Amino acid sequence: MAEAAHEMRPIPTHQEVALDVLARFQDLGARYWGWVTVLGFLFVLGIVGFVIRLSAGFDDRSIWGYHVATMSFIVTTFLAMPMISAGLRLTKANWRRPLTRVTENMSITGLLVVLMLLPALAALPPLEGRRNIWFDFPLGAPGVWNVLGFGNLALMGLALLWVLALPDLAAARDHLPPSARQRFIAWASLGWVGHLRQWRVLYAASLVFGGGYLIAYPLVQSLLFADFHAGLMPGLKDAIGPARAVVHGVQGALAMTIVVMYVMRRLGGYERYFSVEQFWALSKPLLAFSLFWFYFWWASFLTFWYGRLPGETDLIRFLVLNSYLGPFIVSLVLNFIVPLVALIWSPVRRSAWGPAFVSAGILVGTFVNEVRIYVSAFSIEDPTLHALDGIPPGQWPEAPDVLIAIGGIAGCVLLFMLVSKIVPVISMWEVGEGLRLTKIRRYLNRQVRVIAKSH
Amino acid sequence: MANRKLLGLFQEPQQVADAMNELKGSGIPAEDLDIYSGSPFPEGAFGEHEPHHRLYMFPLVGALIGFSLGLLYTAGTQIAYPLVTGGKPLLSIPPMTIIMYENTMLGAIIATVLGVLFESRLPKRSLGLYDERITEGYIGIVVDAPEEKADEAEKLMKAAGAEEVKHES
């Protein structure tokens, strides 16, 4: 009885995985198009909201706050996901293999972010007379250098995705029936055949692009925080703000990865690839970064709390205790308290539903927190002051803001779904490599999984 | 004497390792043997020749070029048009750092993409001697053997368990 409980499922072969993934990849059924249609409709609604805002121009900066908050939410969740792939690959975590492609495919959302950045930059006031990181540097600041910074991240993500997808594009090229889609995939595979040299180069490129993504991401969060928050907030002196934003990004990336895996497991039939092992493993750093979330906020808050200058107490009232108290409480509960209370329990971590439930809350909390940070900053009328002139009220969303938020998020999911029919959503080569490095062996009275180190 | 290319298709990695040993034992240099696979194997798993690449040089050179252009642009323009503001230093280091960092990264990305293409010998118009089963998990040994050794190489691969040996047409 006890022995049977420790019996393990036989390990599938590379061929079984490849055929299974390619069969799902090939399928473009009514369900897929149904989802694409719904997401496309929501995305169009977002464009409508954006056009309404655009028609009002950029003179009233406050109407662009929710647009920037939505953009920042995407940067903090969807666009942060390739960091998971890069980090786990650098640490050679074997359990990463089924989930890395999901995170890499999300790098496509970088294109949407770059597009959303352009009106956000247009809404920024001139640099003259207000604090900024550009120190009156005249050539293109802040617009050109924000676009270059965000563009670099998008480019790096797409390069990471493309390089790591080459072997699977080749597999799709070889096995899809002839069609326009197959021809496009064949073109994108560039004639990959998988010889020794190509594998060595791919491995090296994954390190370069992965490492590059990890160092490009903090710059983007720093630019976001500096130009769209700190530079608009009179009296704000928050040295760890950008670092805090990066911590939020890692937490958001972990949460979004878990939620996407859960949805694919429940709705897409991917239980075989997203097992409890992946949820369990990701829930540990999720708990750690939830603790960091609070630690970084606390460290920043203390400066203002003990500083007690009039401008600082006004800022605390504005961002935490008064105008944005509601969003702050929601964020504190969903980004810190719930993850802490739930994920300290091993049975919760060691399940698919537990981390998914907590992660869904984290995503809601993250959006609300981005609203608190960026909508508040955009609602300040005169950013050239040295301290807040009174405490502005919180700004509730209007209909176009809601449309932009829904459309932005739907647009990201839509892009993911579209790109996942060009690049298989499970990395066949990486899973195949892992399967070959895994053996089931008997150890005393039970079976154990033995995983070899590949490098 | 012209060379002939063969592709032996195997299902099991052990068969590939055995075939590689036999082929090398028959006098075919390791440099003339290549492995095609749908996923990577640990280096040296088949006793294969280890191909060298210089991919890491590409991001380094690209980053250096990007950094230099960033420095030239930021420092050069400020020196060319010296506008001293409030007695502050002419070169504004903090924004220069951001711009140089971004240019460094852009140079590294572009150079690495080019490096991947160059070092992987991509794009290839024709797949050449290839079999679609390789992306399903089969492993191929490509032998670039002199004409007089090609038949022997084919026999050795079949003896080691090759399901099929294809010839370059």
* Interval A52-69: pLDDT, tens: 999 999 999 999 999 999
Q: Specify if B124 maps to a domain.
A: no
In single-letter form, the type of residue at position A46 comes to G
pLDDT at residue number A1: 43
Q: What's the CATH code of the domain at B136? A: 3.30.70.120
What tens digit of pLDDT does each residue of A290-347 get?
999 999 999 999 988 898 888 889 999 999 999 999 999 999 999 999 999 999 999 9
pLDDT at residue number A4: 53
Residues 6+ apart with CB under 8 A from A362: A251, A252, A255, A286, A290, A334, A335, A339
pLDDT at residue number A138: 66
Q: Of the candidates B55, B120, B136, which has its C-beta nearest A19's C-beta?
A: B136
Q: Does A95 touch chain B (CB under 8 A)?
A: no
Instruction: Tell me: pLDDT of A2 over 50.
Output: no
Q: Of the candidates A196, A428, A454, which has its C-beta nearest B35's C-beta?
A: A196
Q: Does A148 touch chain B (CB under 8 A)?
A: yes
Instruction: Tell me: pLDDT of A5 over 60.
Output: no
Q: Specify whether B86 is located in the same domain as B101.
A: yes
Q: Specify whether B12 is located in the same domain as B29.
A: yes
Q: Does B112 touch chain A (CB under 8 A)?
A: yes
- What is the Cα–Cα distance from B77 to B72, expressed in whole angstroms? 8
Best mutation target among B88, B109, B117 (most A Cβ atoms within 10 Å) is: B109
The label of the residue with tokens 């704000």 reads A236
- What is the Cα–Cα distance from B153 to B159, expressed in whole angstroms? 10
Q: Specify if B146 maps to a domain.
A: yes
Residues 6+ apart with CB under 8 A from A110: A79, A150, A153, A154, A155, A157, A158
What tens digit of pLDDT does each residue of B12-59 get?
999 999 999 999 999 999 999 999 999 999 888 999 988 899 999 999
Instruction: Tell me: pLDDT of A383 over 90.
Output: yes
Q: Does A14 touch chain B (CB under 8 A)?
A: yes
How are strands ordered across the β-sheet holding B3-10? B33-37, B139-146, B3-10, B164-167
What tokens were used for A254?
């972990």
Q: Which structural domain, as residue segments, surrounds residue B82?
A: 57-119
- What is the Cα–Cα distance from B19 to A371, expressed in whole angstroms? 63
In chain B, how many domains are there? 2
Sign of CA dihedral B76, A147, A229, A50: positive
B146: phi then psi, degrees, rounded to nearest 5: -60, 150
Q: Does A276 touch chain B (CB under 8 A)?
A: no
Instruction: Tell me: pLDDT of A7 over 90.
Output: no
Q: Specify if B91 maps to a domain.
A: yes
Q: Does B75 touch chain A (CB under 8 A)?
A: no
Q: Specify if B19 maps to a domain.
A: yes
Q: Of the candidates A18, A149, A209, which has its C-beta nearest B137's C-beta?
A: A18
The whole-angstrom distance between A59's CA and the closest CA on chain B is 27
Domain ranges of chain A: 2-451
What tens digit of pLDDT does each residue of A412-421 get?
999 999 999 9
Q: Does A135 touch chain B (CB under 8 A)?
A: yes
- What is the Cα–Cα distance from A37 to A147, expressed in whole angstroms? 30
Residue window 129-158, chain B: list those with CB within 8 Å of chain A: 130, 132, 134-138, 142
pTM, two decimal places? 0.95
pLDDT at residue number A453: 77
Average model confidence (pLDDT) across chain A: 94
Least trusted range by pLDDT, from A24-38, A203-217, B77-91? B77-91
What tens digit of pLDDT does each residue of A80-113 get?
999 999 999 999 899 999 999 999 999 999 999 9
Q: Specify whether B107 is located in the same domain as B80.
A: yes
Least trusted range by pLDDT, from A207-211, A344-348, A449-453? A449-453
Instruction: Tell me: pLDDT of A285 over 70.
Output: yes
pLDDT at residue number A372: 97
Element (H, E) at A441: strand A438-443
- What is the Cα–Cα distance from A39 to A35, expressed in whole angstroms? 6
Strands of B25-131 (E only): list them. 33-37
Q: Does B76 touch chain A (CB under 8 A)?
A: no
Strands of A180-326 (E only): list them. none
Q: Of the candidates A133, A203, A208, which has its C-beta nearest B112's C-beta?
A: A208
- What is the Cα–Cα distance from B139 to B119, expressed in whole angstroms? 22
Mean of pLDDT values over A73-82: 98
What tens digit of pLDDT does each residue of B102-138 get?
999 999 999 999 999 999 999 998 999 999 999 999 9
Cβ distance A191 to B123 less than 8 Å, yes or no, reads yes
Q: Specify whether B26 is located in the same domain as B7.
A: yes
Residues 6+ apart with CB under 8 A from A442: A448
